[in-house]
Each structure stands twice: as C-alpha cells, then as structure tokens.
Chains A and B, each alone.
Chain A
Amino acid sequence: MELEVKREKLVFRFGAQKFEWNIEPRYWRNPLIYVGLLIVLPILAYFFYPTLLPTLIDANLLAAIAIPLSWMTLGTGRMNFGPQFYIGAGGYAAALCSIHLHWPPQVTLLAALIVGLFFGLLMSPLAILSGGLYYTLLTLLFPLVFLEITFIYTDIFRGEVGLSGIAPLINVGSFTLNQLIIGLGALLMMLLYMFIVDKVMRSRFSTSLAAINDDEEVAAAMGVNVNKMKIISFTIPAVMIAVVGWFYAHYYGTFAGVTYLPLTFMLKVLMVNMIGGRVQIYGNVVGGYFIAFLELLLIQVIGDYSPVLFPIILLILLLTLPEGLFGLYRKRHYREYLPTLHVRR
C-alpha cells in the first residue's frame, strides 16, 4: 500500500491495483467538499469540544440570515439595514403561538411563515417607492419602532425580559445531543437557503436582478418588470429571515426583542454580509463562521465584546474590502460569479 502525491495527481497503490485522482482547482470548488466539512464540524465538536456547539449554531443561523439578505439586496438594488425586523416578527409569532396556544414547533413555523409573508408584502412597496438612502433609513427605523412596541405593550411582548416557556425544538434527554441535533438542523436550514438562493442566482431570474441592481431604469427599458421582481425579491427573503426568528425562539426557549432588534445585532448581520461580499452567497457562510468565532474570541479575551468594537471593525471592512473577501477572488474570476452590489444613493 502506497500513497504518492504528484504535482497534479494523487496516486494510491494497493497491491497490483492503482487508483488515481486528479487534483484540479475545479475539483476543489466542488460544493460537496465544503458541505461535508460543515457537517463534520458539529459532529467533531460534539465528541471533543461540546462548548463549541452553540457557536456553530450561531454561525449557521447568522449565515442563514445573511444569505436571503444578499438576495434581497441584489433584487431591490438597495441596502436593507433592518433584516432583524423579520427575525422579531417570526420569533414573536412563534413564541406567542407556542406559549398561548400550545402549538408545537412544526405548527408555529406556519405562523412564522404567515407573519413573515404579511410583513414582507406590507413593506415590499418601500423598495419601489423610496430611493436608496431613504429606503436604508426606513428599514433601519422599523426594527427600532418594533422594539419600542415590545416595551410599550409589555403585557404581550414582555419587553426587556422577553417571552419564556416556548416549546423546545427537540428534546431527546441529553443536553449536548440536543445541541448537536439543533446544530445539524441549523446547518440544514442554512444549506437549504443556500440551495434556494443559489438556484435563483443561476436561473434566468438572476440576470434581471443584476440588471435592476445596476440600473433600474435601463432594466425597465429592456423589458424587465422591475416592480414585480423587487416585490418578489423583497418578500421571499423576508419570509426566509422570519423562519430564522422562529428557529431562535424555539432553540433558546425564550424570545426577547432586545436581543435581536437593536442595532448591535444588525451590525453583526451586516458584517457577515460585508465579510463575504454583499451579494456573494457563499461568502456569507465564511462571514457567518468568522463573526461567530470572532465573538467567541472577544468574549474569551475581553470578557464581553464591546458594542463599540463591532462598528469599528465594520467601518474598517467597508473601507478596505468594499466587495468583501470574496471580492478579492472575484476580481480575477468575475465570469464565474454574478454581480456585486452597486449601492444607489
């Protein structure tokens, strides 16, 4: 038995038999490799370092928010600074239904979907009516208004304390095993989102999104139904993000607006987007893991990450890497990836 690594070949001899693998760059781009890696990670953590599991769950959920957000950003041609609004909507819908109606998680998912769809449709005209900067400011405002509402109607939303007693996603008896299953579930959701958005980005749909992102007026002159596309690419991602809210609610068993609705959480999501490159869906996974581990590191080193630090990092990223980490790669390989964002002001 013999293993030999040549320059572009991996040769494996077993007795008289010989197996060869070509090592070509395009093989390394096979998504299955990375999916496999992501699946192995929580399993390894489960056996060797269970305290890492929450961080992995967090990473996947952050990526699961950032991926639809990329679609939304591309398809509306504007930066949405309020994705956490839908987390709040989905989360509260799930929490309230679970606590008051005693619905199991599968049923509250439906409630989160409906509430997400409702608010998504309700707000989607914003993407048509308001220009880039106003849109950004308005989307920034909505989560904060929502936060105020959770404080005003304390008897419903339980303000600062949050709702508790939400049915858990899964309970098999062992805490770490629960976490492993939830971790794999979060990964599955993230991969599903990735799959959906990737399909969209590779379909005929994507060229119109890219055109809208670059120049709405010209896109319309070339026959693209800009308003329809914008409504679709606002509403569906909003629903997808609302489902992440549902996941948060059932995962923690408690749900408080103060955790998700303030600017600090938004900054985290935006940084995930920034690090990956704003409309690079694969980059979002890198960004999600990067931020989750950075947070872990900061908590271990400084004790608690300072709310000042993240905005500073975000600012530095904005200035140095306008297209994110993926942008560096894309500069040389732009044919293979669809457009980056051109933010309208």
Chain B
Amino acid sequence: MNEILKASNLSKHFGGLMAIDDVSFSIYEGETLGLMGPNGAGKTTLVNLITGKYFTDTGSIQFMGKDITRMAPYKRCKLGISRTYQIPRPFPELTALSSVIVSALYGKDRSNQSLDDAGYEATHYLEFCGLFSKRNVLCKDLTLYELRGLELARALATTPKLIFVDEVMAGLNPAEATKAVRLLERAKEEFGVTILWIEHVMAALMKAANRVVVLHYGKKIAEGLPQEIANDPLVIECYLGSCHV
C-alpha cells in the first residue's frame, strides 16, 4: 500500500496549551483511518494542521511525496486534500448548489471549465449526498443533517484524494447517523477517496475503520487495528477518564 500522507513529529501549542504534541502517523492509499480521542484531545487541531489552517510548530507533512508543511491551504486543496467541518460551516448566503459549485470550480485546476460545467458537476455531488431537491435553498436554511451532507458534497466536489471527515455523527439522531455513515462508505466506493475519519464515539469507528489512531491530550497514545485498540488497556483507561499520560 502506498503512503499517501506522512506526518512526522507535528506539534502545535496555543499559548501554554499543547494541543498537538509530537504526533507522527501515516495514511495509506484507499484505507479508512479512524482518529479517535475524547473531546479536546486535539483531533480537529490535527486536521487544521494538515489542511493548512495553522502551520505546525515542529515536524513536517508529506502528501504524495510532496512536502506541504508550509503550503497555503488552497494549494493543498488543489493537490487533493479536502475536509468537512465538525460544526458545519456553510456559505450562509449561497444556495446549496452554488456552494458546491465553488468547490467544483476551484478544487482542482481545470482549464476552461465554465460556470455551467461546474454547475452540472456540482449537481452530481449534490444528488449523491441526497440534496438534489434542496439545490436552490440558501445554506442558512438547511437543517443540521442536510448541512452535513452538504459539507460532504462540497468536500467531494474538489475531487480529493484524501478527505478529512470531522465527526459526522455528532448531533444527529441514530437513524440520521446511520445514513451518514452509509453515505461515507458509498463515497469511498464511488470516488475512491482515502478517508481520515474523526469520531469521539468508539463504536462507530470500530466498524468502519481499517486502522485507528488514538489521541489523548494532544499525544498519540495508540495506533493499530480496531480490535487491538478496543482491547488496549491504556485506551480503555483514557475513555473511562482515569488516564494521565
């Protein structure tokens, strides 16, 4: 399996808080890597480091053999890194369709792609996420579940190779959560993307992920197959709340 992303020794501090502390890991092409950890463990911060919202204090990030440690976020997107947000961040004043058009137009350098072309393409992603009927609704009028779908449609429309999914299930009821998980699985089949899937509930990841990385207070405390992680005493301890790493 090819290494698609290699993060070595990443650290990030906010004031005195070490949000990420010397974390190294790799993502292999075609897999679903689960990233797990209690709230405030630094999962979102790790995604922010890799997608370029923040630059890492130490270490380096390689994407498909290219060093992207100091690359601007939009260039990383064009290379094929995309993400969704834990708390959906739609473009409130744009319709669902036009917000996906933004990704379709700018997610990758396509010469001579017109607005209409991008519109057709965006429609496909919207339909895939079950939002075709909502295409002309302003994003600020969508429900949370629809926004999650839109986040995914937007991320997929940039034609990514690697996609960071930040807590799709949070805030959804069980039925919606199941649908969201199935949607991700279908996205993986249809578009062949590699997924880094963040979740703080263990059970969901255990089923979906090929491998799991566990963060705790910014440190990587475990990495391995879901079964190993589920039986790791350290991880269990952390989730029960009595762990001091």
Contacts and interface: CB of A to CB of B under 8 A. Distances in A.
Interface of A: 202-204, 207-208, 210-211, 213-215, 217-226, 334-335, 339-340, 342
B136 interface: yes
B93 A342 contact: yes
B92 A221 contact: no
A204 B99 CA distance: 12
26 contacts: A203-B115, A204-B105, A204-B113, A207-B118, A208-B102, A210-B91, A210-B102, A211-B91, A211-B94, A214-B91, A214-B92, A214-B93, A218-B91, A219-B102, A220-B72, A220-B73, A220-B77, A222-B154, A223-B103, A223-B106, A223-B108, A224-B74, A225-B106, A335-B136, A339-B93, A342-B92
Mostly, the B contact residues are mixed
A208 B136 contact: no
B28 interface: no
Interface string B151-166: 0001000100000000
B107 interface: yes
Contact of B94 (A202, A220, A225, A339): A339
B51 interface: yes
Contacts of B52: 220-221
A335 B77 contact: no
B101 A207 contact: yes
Interface of B: 51-53, 72-74, 77-78, 82-83, 85, 89, 91-95, 98-99, 101-103, 105-108, 113-115, 118, 136, 138, 154, 158
Contacts of A335: 95, 136
B105 A207 contact: yes
Contacts of B114: 204
A203 B116 CA distance: 10
Nearest to A279: B93
Contacts of B93: 210, 213-214, 339-340, 342
Given A211-B94, A214-B93, A335-B136, A222 B107 contact: yes
Nearest to A227: B72
A224 B74 CA distance: 6
Q: Which of A208, A219, A223, A340 has the most CB of B within 10 A?
A: A223
Contact of B102 (A202, A224, A334): A224
Contacts of A207: 94, 98, 101-102, 105, 115, 118
B5 to A, nearest CB: 16
A164 B108 CA distance: 54
A109 to B, nearest CB: 33
Nearest to A335: B136
Given A210-B93, A222-B107, 18 more contacts: A204-B113, A204-B115, A207-B102, A207-B105, A207-B118, A210-B91, A210-B94, A211-B99, A217-B53, A220-B52, A220-B74, A221-B83, A222-B158, A223-B107, A224-B106, A226-B74, A339-B91, A342-B92
Contacts of B82: 221-222
A208 B95 contact: no
A211 B102 contact: yes
